[in-house]
Amino acid sequence: MNGLELFAIRVSHYYDVFQLKKIIRLFLCLVILWIAGSVYIYLTESLYFDIFSSPGADPELRFASYGDCMWGILVYLFSGFESYIPKTNAGRAGAVVFMVFGVGVIGLFTASIASILIEKSERKGAVRRKPETIGFKDHLVIFGWSPSAGRILQTLYDSGLYRGIPAVIIDERDIIFPPSDLKWGNIYHVSGPYNKRETLERADIRYSRQVLVLESESADRANSRALTACYAIKNIYENSKITVFIKSKEKIELIRRYADEVISLPDIQARAVSQSVITRGAMKTLSVLLEASRSSPGIRLSEIGRDMMGMHYSLAKSYGYTENNSIILGLFETEKKRYIINPADDPVLSEKYRLIIL
Amino acid sequence: MDSCLNSHIVICNWNDKGDTIIKELHSNVHRNKKPIVIITRDPQSVPSSTEEEYQKVFIISGDPSDEKILRRASLDTADSAIVLSDFERGEYADAYSIIIALAIETINSDVHTVVELQKSRNKIHFKNSHVDEIICVEEITEKLVAQSAISHGISSIYLHLLSATLDTNEIYIIPVPRHFCGLSFRGAMKRVLSDKAEFILIGYMSGGQIYINPAKDESGHELKEGDRLITIAYSCPEFEKKG
């Protein structure tokens, strides 16, 4: 996303969030009322005296020029009669009509400005709403805001691989507040139910790079929500990449049908505890492995280079380390979607594999 | 219960993760299966399984924060202690775990204590205790979710490394063999690769710090006695005695 697009998003955001459309309409009404009033008063007051009186007959006449009329009507609209009082009956009748309309329009206008100021102070620190007029591409979508979501965004930001990419949070709440120390700048919010097509479309789900469905901290029915969200997303866009993070194993098999990756907290918790007893320091190592950064992106998949095609796995390990300082941990069989760590049978590298490297 | 228990594992409290922990600790991948003593206020919740993994598993009914109960579990001769969360305590589950951990460390400060924590914000309360490892899976899992956003499907590799079975690899941290002392990590790696070892060397531990695949310019550190090698293998690697 370039700077111009980001500027357009920002403008569009203010247009949507601060109801600029309504304010512009009210302002136009006010201008029309002002011009119409000035013309009317000019015709009824100034021309009347020009026709029926000799020049200088009424030294107190305040509507002698069109400029005076415009100033007079502006005073009527904002503060009512003061020194500018029409002398003719038609002028007085018109002035009353303009004042009644003026009070209404001015009231609405000032109230809108006040509401913007109040809303702005209330929204301080809140995530901006995603503008409906601008479409996002290759962005990150997160279902459900929680402290976990904030920490995940921070980890992704630190990895350097998601910098400059917008994150769209889908949450049923009207306003969400990210932690103040979160460095991720482009966070937008789409408010609405998870399972509604309209909500998902507003988040441009079909053009997203990755969708993360996170179980909220307090909801008991959270896995039902995760399941509904996955089902709705796949219905709209079958190729979307969904990772689900759940804190209980309820409905896990159903969720697996629709999600590409399911990370279940109980599975990891039990294994982590036993691993830390079996091998002291194993969990620390795992934690270091998971600390993704620009210089050390952790475990990742890589295509097999032409120079390595046809090599035995054991030879490729030496070659990969000597040439690229990469430790080859195993192979990913693309057709079967199977990860083979440290294969014992020393397979020959071919196009059906990808390398798992560190 | 056998009163001469030695180098055993004490599990304080029981929850839904207990079963997996027993199965992982008594998996066939381990040659030396350590006896396990479970201390729980609700012994009925522990499955009375006849499975192989549940052999050498003993249950003591009582409060795991009670010193007498901990001594009955021969904590003073235990190798490791695991403190699981007591979910019945709700918001105070972590607070109860802290009390148990302090009781354990008072009786035997040498025991390797692992505590399961619910909320990462409570980590600070363990600062002054001598707990060896605090498992706050919330943190690890969040990092895992972030990793999966970077590289799709990667979480299954980490889960694979966490499973202790005969057909999966695990992380093993082993002392640096004598004939590796004086070598740089790069030198050690080349030696392992040329020997076509059955394990994968991924890094080393020195002075409590972990170094995973150090870059060429950072790998000048010479491995010495007391350092440890970090490996991935199907079972704990053993080096042939050389030099």
Lowest model confidence (mean pLDDT) among A303-317, B31-45, B125-139: B125-139
Of B114, B142, B160, the CB nearest to A273: B114
Q: Do A267 and B159 touch (CB under 8 A)?
A: yes
Q: Calculate mean pLDDT across residues B176-193.
A: 87
In chain A, the percentage of residues whose pLDDT exceeds 90 is 2
- Best-predicted range by mean pLDDT (A212-226, B33-47, B128-142): B33-47
Q: Calculate mean pLDDT across residues B57-71.
A: 91
Residue B189 has phi, psi (to 5 degrees) of: -65, -45
- B17 in Cβ contact with A269 (< 8 Å): yes
A59 pLDDT higher than 60 = no
- B205 in Cβ contact with B227 (< 8 Å): yes
A212 vs B contacts (CB less than 8 Å):
145, 149
Count how many Cα atoms sit within 13 Å of the Cα of residue A220 in the half-sphere of its side chain. 0
A2 pLDDT higher than 60 = no
Chain A closest-CA separation from residue B20 CA (Å): 6
Chain A closest-CA separation from residue B241 CA (Å): 23
Q: What is the mean pLDDT of chain A?
A: 79
Q: Do A273 and B160 touch (CB under 8 A)?
A: no
Neighbour-count burial for A151-168, b at 16+ CB within 10 Å, e otherwise: bbbbbbbbbebbeebbbb
Number of helices and strands (H, E) in chain A? 12, 11
Position A334, amino acid: T
> In the prediction, which pLDDT does A119 show?
63
- Best-predicted range by mean pLDDT (A61-65, A194-198, B100-104): B100-104
A342: confidence class by pLDDT, cuts 50, 70, 90: confident
> In the prediction, which pLDDT does A340 show?
87
> In the prediction, which pLDDT does B243 show?
42
> In the prediction, which pLDDT does B131 show?
82
Tell me the residue length of chain B. 243
Q: Calculate mean pLDDT across residues A131-160.
A: 83
- A329 in Cβ contact with A321 (< 8 Å): no
Of B146, B153, B216, the CB nearest to A292: B146
- B62 in Cβ contact with B41 (< 8 Å): yes
> In the prediction, which pLDDT does B132 show?
83
Q: What is the mean pLDDT of chain B?
A: 83
Taking the C-alpha atoms of residue B205 and residue B157, their distance in angstroms, rounded to an integer, is 22
Chain B closest-CA separation from residue A152 CA (Å): 6
Question: Of A232 and B53, which is predicted with more confidence?
Answer: A232
pLDDT digit string, tens, across residues A80-97: 656 667 778 888 888 888
Q: Calculate mean pLDDT across residues A227-249.
A: 86
- Best-predicted range by mean pLDDT (A151-155, A296-300, A312-316, B144-148): A312-316
Q: Which of A331, A341, A358 to mutate to test the interface with B (most CBs of B within 10 A)?
A: A341
3-state helix, strand, coil in chain A (%, to 5): 50, 15, 35
- Reported as type and span, the H/E element at residue B155 is helix B155-162
- Reported as type and span, the H/E element at residue A171 is strand A167-171
How many beta-carbon contacts under 8 Å exist across A and B? 229
CA distances from B120 to A129, B78, B125, B142 (A): 30, 27, 10, 11
B64: confidence class by pLDDT, cuts 50, 70, 90: very high
B240 pLDDT higher than 70 = no
Lowest model confidence (mean pLDDT) among A290-299, A316-325, B108-117, B157-166: A290-299
Q: Which of A158, A342, A345, A346 to mutate to test the interface with B (most CBs of B within 10 A)?
A: A342
B71: confidence class by pLDDT, cuts 50, 70, 90: very high
Question: Of B1 and B120, which is predicted with more confidence?
Answer: B120
> In the prediction, which pLDDT does B61 show?
92
- Reported as type and span, the H/E element at residue B25 is helix B18-25
> In the prediction, which pLDDT does B70 show?
92
> In the prediction, which pLDDT does A126 show?
64
DSSP A76-144: HHHH--SS----SHHHHHHHHHHHHHHHHHHHHHHHHHHHHHHHHHHTTTSPEEPPSSS---S-EEEES
Q: Are strands B112-116 and B200-206 parallel, antiparallel or unpaired?
A: unpaired
User: What burial class does residue A64 get, using C-beta atoms within 10 Å of its C-beta: 0-12 exposed, 13-18 middle, 19+ buried?
Assistant: middle
Of B116, B138, B164, the CB nearest to A278: B164
Q: What is the ipTM of this complex?
A: 0.77
Q: Three-state DSSP class for B200?
A: strand
> In the prediction, which pLDDT does B38 show?
93
* Spatial strand order in the sheet of B80-83: B57-61, B36-40, B9-12, B80-83, B112-116, B133-135
A283 pLDDT higher than 60 = yes
Q: Which of B193, B198, B206 to mutate to test the interface with A (most CBs of A within 10 A)?
A: B193
CA distances from B208 to A225, A230, A280, B180, B211 (A): 43, 42, 12, 19, 10
> In the prediction, which pLDDT does A7 show?
65
A5 pLDDT higher than 80 = no
B40 pLDDT higher than 90 = yes
- Reported as type and span, the H/E element at residue A32 is helix A20-41
Q: Residue A43 carries which DSSP code?
A: I
| Six token digits for residue A238 | 């079958």
